[in-house]
Amino acid sequence: MATPLTDQEKRKQISIRGIVGVENVAELKKGFNRHLHFTLVKDRNIATPRDYYFALAHTVRDHLVGRWIRTQQFYYEADPKRVYYLSLEFYMGRTLQNTMINLGLQNACDEAIYQPHKLTSHNDNADFFSLGLDMEELEEMEEDAGLGNGGLGRLAACFLDSMATLGLAAYGYGIRYEYGIFNQKIRDGWQVEEADDWLRHGNPWEKARPEYMLPVHFYGRVEETRDGPKWVDTQVVLAMPYDTPIPGYMNNTVNTMRLWSARAPNDFNLKDFNVGDYIQAVLDRNLAENISRVLYPNDNFFEGKELRLKQEYFVVAATLQDIIRRFKTTKKGVPGRTSFKSFPDKVAIQLNDTHPAMAIPELMRIFLDIEKIDWDTAWDLTRRTFAYTNHTVLPEALERWPVQLMEKLLPRHLQIIYQINQAHLDKIAALYPNDMDKLRTMSLIEEDGSKRVNMAHLCIVGSHAVNGVAEIHSNIIKTQVFRNFSELEPNKFQNKTNGITPRRWLLLCNPGLAELIAEAIGEDYVRDLGELRMLNDLVNDATFIRDVSKVKQDNKVKFAQYLEKEYPVKINPASMFDVHVKRIHEYKRQLLNCLHIITMYNRIKMNPTAPFVPRTVIIGGKAAPGYHMAKMIIKLITSVADVVNNDPVVGSKLKVIFLENYRVSLAEKVIPATDLSEQISTAGTEASGTGNMKFMLNGALTIGTMDGANVEMAEEAGEENLFIFGMRVEDVAEMDKKGYDAMAYYKKIPELKQVMDQITSGFFSPKNPELFKDLTEMLFKHDRFKVFADFEAYVKCQEKVSKLYKNPVEWTKMVIKNIAATGKFSSDRTIKEYATEVWGVEPTNLKIPPPSEPREAIEETVKALKKM
């Protein structure tokens, strides 16, 4: 009888992760051994799992370097139009496995790592893979690069993957935060933040480029000279670039993400040379270097902090210098560019939300003050270069910088913004004579109270294209948030529905499903997710239904084992995994989910013998450290979990887990195991969402409102294949007009009344009955997101979910229909639309030649480094 294949052996056979070649395996072993000795200076007696991770990472990176250099050479020679994606956040997660997959090395690495070998000698040249290393253990050694809060930063990471896969000459520019998004600990049910020192062990994927260090200026004053305004007496901070390779999927393209780190200059400008002043001056270097110290953890709330404005200007000032250097540099034998007429033909800059908006006045400053271009020409070039993506309609999230702060920090830029605004208002006044309201609402400068610069208005006026990130969101910004601007320039406003990369969010995180799909329809779907439509032919195929169901169950068993290791709760893998993971915010309505959990608990308690579809409700996400209400929501969820999980009457019917420290690497574990995806924001508040797409691709069904990309998911899969409930955008608008009366719902719905009475009476907080008073008062008196209004519809919809879950065949058929409908939600499709409709570049998927042999590569390196 044949021995069944182990999981490791199954993984080796997965064709879409690369074909295993004997030469490849031998080469990887040799590289691993070399790096363990010569890079890490360790032998097998003292090497730790982290050392083995670093040895493997360096080995894999070796396979990137030739391709990386060759890609940059190719761009230098071909001189295509380049795309620059400016973002204050890149939520990259881990890099090792993604790189192995995109290079087609996953299986060869697995083979080299897993295959047992006998030691042939006892010297230091023995086969280090005979240690029986576990690939998953090595992958767990890698720190998440958590340089983002949530969706906006993760979108930027998906876009980089797609731009490389499509062969675009593209660059990501951001900040190399020393501390990323905080690590979340749950202590006594409360969120506690700990610093994310993600670089403490080093980062094998980045390459410092001190030779490209650039000065960035702050403060000072503007001096009027014969040659025009001059920004003088500034304080200088240096921007040190760190480059990370971004490999495309199986195409030899390796693009660059360049992140800037703040460094203090060496000249301390000491007046006295006594020891005290010198020591203090050295210590004061930290003040300059604080700029890149930490990621701001507020994603949907604007805080007008000076350090944040410094970060925003720091990244755009360094980036624009770099862009202009690259624009002026032409290939050998061709004179360098001195005219900027072709700048928008060679440079496209995408602003990922308003955070990099200072790029607009900064490029104007460079054109006017340094390159001596006249205003009209400079403004025309600037507008044709920039495009702006809006990510939120929440008013508290929109950036409005105090004029007083900007005048102190960036005085020349404020002058330029005033001049841009004057020309803009003159145009409006000419079109709408005597319409003071239009002038007031469309001005870049808000004057009610203290003067502020509206950064969204600056982005709209200074860009040639503005887009939302889902159809419903783009319509809201056109017809409501920026209606006057849209009426002024209707052709400027577009929609670009967000997407996700199928490489990370299927191949990497769900290899079982990825291989099953490849066996059914071939491997082309990895590059063209629209191919998944072919799965519709298999909706009634009993074998395929069984196989899809088995993959899901295997993922659930694996995740249940993880949960039981991390939390003191026994998980039933046969229960429905009902998952709600995203940042904790009132508009995302984790509270609505929590009220439903309590409702289910009450139903079980009232009739313990009644039939009940078992559920494991999993909620995860981080609350901004200063967001009191979000932290109270976490405390309520954990308090409810304590009661539910320890009630013997409830038993295994209902379990509640709050996932601590939700992050990219944890998303890769929970998403493939999910049955039900919670996307329940109030209609009209979520710009798009991308978690919804990840769950859909991985075989979860969605319960959600008609909000964000849920609307398009329902269009693609058919509304009957999602569990849609609740108010639509127009219903919310109507309720806003009439007024929302929370108390009326409380009095009308008995189960809601019972739940709220339990919370207010201290049922879930017996030691402190008043603990949730702030939360209940908000729900009753000033809930902008109308939780009670959707409660009844939500509970009824959840009953439909439970009913279908009892019929596994019909449930899985609906799952297959959803997976088949995810083609639209690939970030490859999104990037193709940006490329052709915004940036004016063709995604040609240029065939970059494979890297040279090592000896030739070394010679090429010297030439190419100057071109990067």
> What one-character-per-residue DSSP string does 37-84 give?
IIIS---TTT--HHHHHHHHHHHHHHHHHHHHHHHHHHHHHH-PPEEE
Reading the block at residue 336, the tokens are 């360098």
pLDDT, one tens digit per residue, over 150-174 is 889 999 999 999 999 999 999 999 9
pLDDT value of residue 116: 55
pLDDT value of residue 867: 52
d(CA 519, CA 447): 62
Of all helices (H) and strands (E), which one includes residue 576?
A: strand 576-581
pLDDT value of residue 487: 95
Residue 646 lies in a domain: yes
Residues 15, 37 within the same domain: yes
Tokens 């006295």 belong to 272
d(CA 328, CA 334): 11
User: pLDDT category, 337, cuts 50, 70, 90?
Assistant: confident
Residues 333, 473 within the same domain: yes
Reading the block at residue 603, the tokens are 């139903």
Of all helices (H) and strands (E), which one includes residue 352?
A: strand 347-352
Which residues, at least 6 apart from 813, have a Cβ–Cβ distance to it below 8 Å? Answer: 539, 540, 545
| Region of residue 207 (phi > 0: left; psi between -120 and 50: alpha; otherwise: beta) | beta
Mean pLDDT on 691-701? 98
Residues 125, 176 within the same domain: no
pLDDT value of residue 120: 39
Residues 115, 184 within the same domain: no
Instruction: Give yes or no for residue 606 having a pLDDT over 60.
Output: yes
pLDDT value of residue 582: 97
Instruction: Give yes or no for residue 673 having a pLDDT over 90.
Output: yes
Residues 414, 553 within the same domain: no
Classified as helix, coil or strand, 29 is helix
Q: Give CA 450 to chain center in angstroms.
A: 34
- CB contact at 8 A, 105 and 63: yes
Which of 170, 817, 809 is CA-nearest to residue 549?
809
pLDDT value of residue 775: 97
Mean pLDDT on 529-543? 98
User: pLDDT category, 394, cuts 50, 70, 90?
Assistant: confident
Which of 511, 755, 746 is CA-nearest to residue 10?
511
**DSSP β-ladder status, 254-263 and 170-175:** parallel
Classified as helix, coil or strand, 131 is helix
User: pLDDT category, 764, cuts 50, 70, 90?
Assistant: very high
d(CA 764, CA 751): 16
pTM for the model? 0.94
Mean pLDDT on 289-317? 88
- CB contact at 8 A, 164 and 170: yes
User: pLDDT category, 5, cuts 50, 70, 90?
Assistant: very low
Tokens 């967000």 belong to 498
Tokens 């919370």 belong to 759
Tell me what percent of the residues of the chain surpass a pLDDT of 70.
90
- CB contact at 8 A, 264 and 289: yes
d(CA 711, CA 124): 60
What DSSP character marks residue 98? H
What DSSP character marks residue 129? G
Instruction: Give yes or no for residue 479 having a pLDDT over 70.
Output: yes
Q: Which residues constitute the domain of residue 104?
A: 7-78+95-141+852-867
Which one is predicted more confidently, 22 or 54?
Answer: 54
d(CA 91, CA 586): 23
Q: What is the tally of structural domains in the chain?
A: 3
- CB contact at 8 A, 43 and 131: no
Residues 116, 252 within the same domain: no
* CA within 13 Å, CB half, 129: 22
Instruction: Give yes or no for residue 839 having a pLDDT over 80.
Output: yes
- CB contact at 8 A, 496 and 389: yes
User: pLDDT category, 513, cuts 50, 70, 90?
Assistant: very high
Residue type at 563?
A: L
pLDDT value of residue 111: 86
Residues 488, 515 within the same domain: no
Residues 556, 661 within the same domain: yes
Reading the block at residue 617, the tokens are 């409700």
What DSSP character marks residue 493? E
Phi, psi of 643 (to 5 degrees): -70, -50
Residue 665 lies in a domain: yes
Residue 781 lies in a domain: no
pLDDT value of residue 112: 87
Reading the block at residue 491, the tokens are 């052709």
Domain boundary (462, 495, 528) is at 495
Residues 634, 716 within the same domain: yes
Residues 615, 640 within the same domain: yes
What DSSP character marks residue 538? G
Residues 122, 268 within the same domain: no
- CB contact at 8 A, 708 and 693: no
Instruction: Give yes or no for residue 11 having a pLDDT over 60.
Output: no
Mean pLDDT on 485-500? 97
Picking from 247-261, 573-587, 616-630, 841-855, which range would have the lowest pLDDT averaged per residue?
Answer: 841-855
Instruction: Give yes or no for residue 49 having a pLDDT over 90.
Output: yes
Instruction: Give yes or no for residue 392 having a pLDDT over 50.
Output: yes
Instruction: Give yes or no for residue 627 having a pLDDT over 90.
Output: yes
Classified as helix, coil or strand, 142 is coil
d(CA 583, CA 704): 16
- CB contact at 8 A, 184 and 662: yes
pLDDT value of residue 334: 67
pLDDT value of residue 92: 97
d(CA 779, CA 472): 26
pLDDT value of residue 25: 86
- CB contact at 8 A, 619 and 581: yes
Q: How far is CA 521 from CA 524, 525, 547, 555, 826, in A?
A: 8, 8, 14, 22, 17
Of all helices (H) and strands (E), which one includes residue 240?
A: strand 235-247
Q: How far apart are the first and last CA of the chain?
A: 57
Residue 777 lies in a domain: no
pLDDT value of residue 851: 64
User: pLDDT category, 859, cuts 50, 70, 90?
Assistant: low
Mean pLDDT of all residues belonging to the chain = 91
Instruction: Give yes or no for residue 179 having a pLDDT over 50.
Output: yes
d(CA 108, CA 116): 14
**DSSP β-ladder status, 228-232 and 221-225:** antiparallel
Phi, psi of 290 (to 5 degrees): -65, -20
Tokens 């003067």 belong to 451
pLDDT, one tens digit per residue, over 103-155 is 999 989 988 887 554 433 334 444 444 457 889 999 999 999 999 998 899 99
Domain boundary (495, 529, 555) is at 495
Instruction: Give yes or no for residue 19 having a pLDDT over 80.
Output: no
Q: What is the domain-level CATH number for residue 316?
A: 3.40.50.2000
For 682-691, b where at least 16 C-beta lie within 10 A, e where not — what string?
bbbbbbbbbb
Picking from 42-46, 765-769, 790-794, which range would have the lowest pLDDT averaged per residue?
Answer: 42-46
pLDDT value of residue 12: 42
Residue 796 lies in a domain: yes
pLDDT value of residue 464: 98
Residue 417 lies in a domain: yes
pLDDT, one tens digit per residue, over 774-786 is 999 999 999 999 9
Angle at 105 between CA 99 and CA 107, to 5 degrees: 125
User: pLDDT category, 278, cuts 50, 70, 90?
Assistant: confident
Residues with active-site annotation: 391, 582-583, 588, 690, 694
Picking from 4-13, 42-51, 136-145, 588-597, which range would have the lowest pLDDT averaged per residue?
Answer: 4-13
Residue 602 lies in a domain: yes
- CB contact at 8 A, 622 and 580: no
Residues 680, 798 within the same domain: yes
Which residues, at least 6 apart from 752, have a Cβ–Cβ distance to it below 8 Å? Answer: 595, 745, 746, 788, 791, 792
pLDDT value of residue 653: 97
Residue 12 lies in a domain: yes
